[in-house]
Amino acid sequence: MNRRSLAIAILVVLLLAIPLVVTSTYHMRIVNLALVFGLLAVSLNIVLGYTGQVALGHSGFFGIGAYTAALITEGGSGLLFWPGFLAAGIVTGIAGLAIGIPALRLRGHYLALATLGFGEIMRHVFFNWREVTRGMDGISGIPAPSIGIVELQGEGSYFYLALAILALAVLFCWRLQASKYGRMLAAIRDAELAAGTSGVNVARLKIAAFFISAVLAGFSGSLYAHLIRFISPDAFTFFEVTAPVLSMVIIGGVGTLIGPVLGAVVLTFLPELLRVSDAYYQLIYGAGLAAMVIFLPMGLLGALHGRLFGLFRPRAPASPASAGPPPEESAEAPDMVRAAALLSPKGGIGTGAVFEARGLTCRFGGLVAIDALDLQIQAGTVHALIGPNGSGKSTFINLATGIYQPTQGSIRFLGQEVAGARPWKVAAAGLARTFQNLRLFRSMTVRGNVLVAAVADRPAGWFETLLSLARSRAEEADLHARTEQALRLLGLWHLRDQLIRTLPHEQQRLVEIARAVAMRPRLLMLDEPAAGMNPVEVERLVTAIGRLRELGITILLIEHNVPLVMRLADRVTVLNFGRKIAEGEPDAVREEPEVVTAYLGQRLSDRLRQNNAA
């Protein structure tokens, strides 16, 4: 800790000394430009890196911020910088909301092109709305910022202002990344659907990310206006702003804390270093940009972490995956009392039918996936849903958890209508699920995956979380405790620091269950949890499901492994072509002639598979 503090202190001193060392106004201007674009890169990184939303409209936000600040401060005193700065953030933030809300419907390439369209539209507005923006004439007479009576006239004093604002933004991002919101954003980035069904309010967080990013972009636009002190529309085009800033983020390191700033510094200085040749420097710059992308897959930060930095800081041990075999599981039988205290369903176990679908119908085009289905799940039971492939089992879970909208019918969960509700609302009501084809948060550890879904008794708000106040720290401790119990319950505690993608599929399935359990659900829907497991692993799964029952979690089990179903289920519903063809006690159902007919081929193949495996 001491050496680290020392390193930071030295760095701060070095940074603060820059204006004293760099005497040329021209070079200080470049340094300051790097800070302004560093802030913009940080802003872009929040949507791009943290949230995984490909936004290419930051030239628009940057321009809105710059124009807002310029129009407010034009010809006025430097003290107007501050209201202009705030207004730039607010106006741009509103623009961010205006883009972020419709953008919820879009992802990937579509979002990229929609936001790019926004940036282009803003360019045309700056250019053609001459009454306000003065068109190509631009706005001059933007004052240098003042603090109190001190006017920050020179490049050197401006540097400290910009550096302070950038440092605050980086600190903010650091807090954001380390907080539960950072985890949630990363979860959205890694697996949006699973984030939603894990209780992450995807819509709100995406909008929040857009908003925060836009506010920071507006701030950087204001800083830009007060640095150059003249703005005109040509400074706010895709190729002038968005493309270089995107490059800064990509080359610096997407999703890292400081990578974007690093990228901004390097790319702002690169043309200067290349100015050896007037005619060729742009040529080399373009080629260099492509080359850096190709040859630095982890960004500059990634490329340097391993080398230069290893010189004076011992690296944290490599990922535990390579640090020898993990300790055996036997040492960690769960303490069921403690587990019950932390993980029993929020709101109690309940009685009677916790879940009831009535006349549920879902059509995709002409295909009827679920046809007028009635289904009741009794509290405290293990209810199995079986049927041949394509009979609508997974569709049913998707309907119940808000991923699909039913065409008709109602779904009542604990007396509350949840048909068509957003996934996180369903999750918050106490309905959790796993996915047949795994949807884990790939960039995180086992523990991180479960933490995303964990629910504390007293959640902290944005303000408390970002400032790390007592309540937020208490919440974190609470979340960690519950996560630990969920992992122990599934026998995964020894794997807690492994990156999720290094685990075999069967263990990933258990992590999905642990993640669902951490939500303290009243009803848990398991979609083929035993798929691909060998008999030993199946036994482990049976034990785990037994523990979940013990906690009082009601379970809906979708499974192809019929013997497993017969062992675990209290009640069985059989689907075929989206219709319920049988329901009842396991033994009774297996004798139903319709079930036998529907299942014959399937069961034979199951038997064959089991024989082969044995």
CA 307 from centroid of its chain's CA atoms: 29
- Smallest gap from residue 431 Cβ to another protein (A): 16
- Of 75, 77, 83, 124, the residue at the interface with another protein (CB under 8 A) is 124
- Of 79, 97, 113, 274, the residue at the interface with another protein (CB under 8 A) is 113
Q: Indicate the SS3 state at residue 558.
A: strand
Tokens of 23: 């005497």
- Smallest gap from residue 265 Cβ to another protein (A): 5
To which residue do tokens 């550890």 refer?
A: 445
- Smallest gap from residue 494 Cβ to another protein (A): 19
- Smallest gap from residue 586 Cβ to another protein (A): 28
Tokens of 5: 């503090």
- Quote the longest CA-to-CA distance of the chain: 91
- Smallest gap from residue 38 Cβ to another protein (A): 9
- The one-character DSSP state at 456 is -
Under the binding rule (CB under 8 A), the answer on residue 97 touching another protein is: no
Q: Identify which range of 84-92, 270-278, 582-590, 592-600 contacts another protein by CB under 8 A.
A: 270-278
Q: Identify which range of 13-21, 319-327, 514-522, 600-608 contacts another protein by CB under 8 A.
A: 13-21
Cβ-based neighbour number of residue 157 at 10 Å: 18
Tokens of 474: 């208490």
Q: 135: left (phi > 0), else alpha (psi -120 to 50), else beta? A: left
The C-alpha torsion from 281 through 286 and 292 to 297, rounded to 10°, is: 170
Backbone CA torsion sign across 301, 306, 312, 318: positive
- Interacting positions 38-77 with another protein (CB under 8 A): 48, 54
How far from 447 is each of 92, 335, 479, 519, CA to CA, in Å?
Answer: 37, 18, 11, 14
- Of 75, 77, 83, 130, the residue at the interface with another protein (CB under 8 A) is 130
CA distance 353 to 381: 10
Under the binding rule (CB under 8 A), the answer on residue 463 touching another protein is: no
Element (H, E) at 355: strand 353-364
Nearer to another protein, 316 or 337 (CB): 316
Tokens of 125: 């507005």
Under the binding rule (CB under 8 A), the answer on residue 610 touching another protein is: no
To which residue do tokens 């405790």 refer?
A: 481
How far from 342 is each of 336, 339, 517, CA to CA, in Å?
Answer: 10, 5, 10
To which residue do tokens 């159902």 refer?
A: 589
Q: State the number of binding residues for another protein (CB under 8 A).
A: 109
Under the binding rule (CB under 8 A), the answer on residue 30 touching another protein is: yes
Under the binding rule (CB under 8 A), the answer on residue 228 touching another protein is: yes
- Smallest gap from residue 284 Cβ to another protein (A): 8
251 close to 289: Cβ distance less than 8 angstroms? yes
Beta bridge pairs of residue 378:
353
Cβ-based neighbour number of residue 191 at 10 Å: 22
Scanning 179-258, the segments in alpha helix (DSSP H) are: 180-190, 192-197, 202-228, 243-252
- Smallest gap from residue 275 Cβ to another protein (A): 8
Under the binding rule (CB under 8 A), the answer on residue 240 touching another protein is: yes
Nearer to another protein, 148 or 312 (CB): 312
Burial 23-35 (b: 16+ CB within 10 A, else e): eeeeebbbbbbbb
Under the binding rule (CB under 8 A), the answer on residue 243 touching another protein is: yes
- Smallest gap from residue 342 Cβ to another protein (A): 24
Under the binding rule (CB under 8 A), the answer on residue 256 touching another protein is: yes
429 close to 418: Cβ distance less than 8 angstroms? yes
CA 118 from centroid of its chain's CA atoms: 23
CA distance 320 to 281: 45
Under the binding rule (CB under 8 A), the answer on residue 90 touching another protein is: no
Nearer to another protein, 294 or 331 (CB): 294
51 close to 214: Cβ distance less than 8 angstroms? no
- Of 11, 16, 323, 600, the residue at the interface with another protein (CB under 8 A) is 11
Under the binding rule (CB under 8 A), the answer on residue 466 touching another protein is: no
- Of 20, 308, 470, 614, the residue at the interface with another protein (CB under 8 A) is 308
- Smallest gap from residue 178 Cβ to another protein (A): 5
Nearer to another protein, 149 or 295 (CB): 295
- Interacting positions 543-562 with another protein (CB under 8 A): none
- Interacting positions 472-511 with another protein (CB under 8 A): none
Under the binding rule (CB under 8 A), the answer on residue 200 touching another protein is: no
Nearer to another protein, 293 or 604 (CB): 293
To which residue do tokens 């399935």 refer?
A: 509
Q: Identify which range of 254-262, 408-416, 505-513, 570-578 contacts another protein by CB under 8 A.
A: 254-262
Nearer to another protein, 234 or 335 (CB): 234
CA distance 187 to 363: 30
Under the binding rule (CB under 8 A), the answer on residue 278 touching another protein is: yes
Q: Identify which range of 14-22, 210-218, 477-485, 529-537 contacts another protein by CB under 8 A.
A: 14-22
- Of 195, 251, 553, 589, the residue at the interface with another protein (CB under 8 A) is 251
Tokens of 239: 């190729």
Strand order in the sheet with 353-364: 367-378, 353-364, 408-413, 416-417
- Smallest gap from residue 556 Cβ to another protein (A): 16
- Interacting positions 344-403 with another protein (CB under 8 A): 394, 398, 403
Under the binding rule (CB under 8 A), the answer on residue 4 touching another protein is: yes
Q: Indicate the SS3 state at residue 19.
A: helix
- Smallest gap from residue 45 Cβ to another protein (A): 12
- Of 47, 186, 205, 257, the residue at the interface with another protein (CB under 8 A) is 257
Nearer to another protein, 300 or 454 (CB): 300
- Interacting positions 133-192 with another protein (CB under 8 A): 135-138, 140, 170, 174, 178, 192
Q: Identify which range of 4-12, 67-75, 560-568, 604-612 contacts another protein by CB under 8 A.
A: 4-12
- Of 114, 186, 343, 581, the residue at the interface with another protein (CB under 8 A) is 114
223 close to 162: Cβ distance less than 8 angstroms? yes
Under the binding rule (CB under 8 A), the answer on residue 230 touching another protein is: yes
Q: Indicate the SS3 state at residue 389.
A: coil
- Interacting positions 408-437 with another protein (CB under 8 A): 435
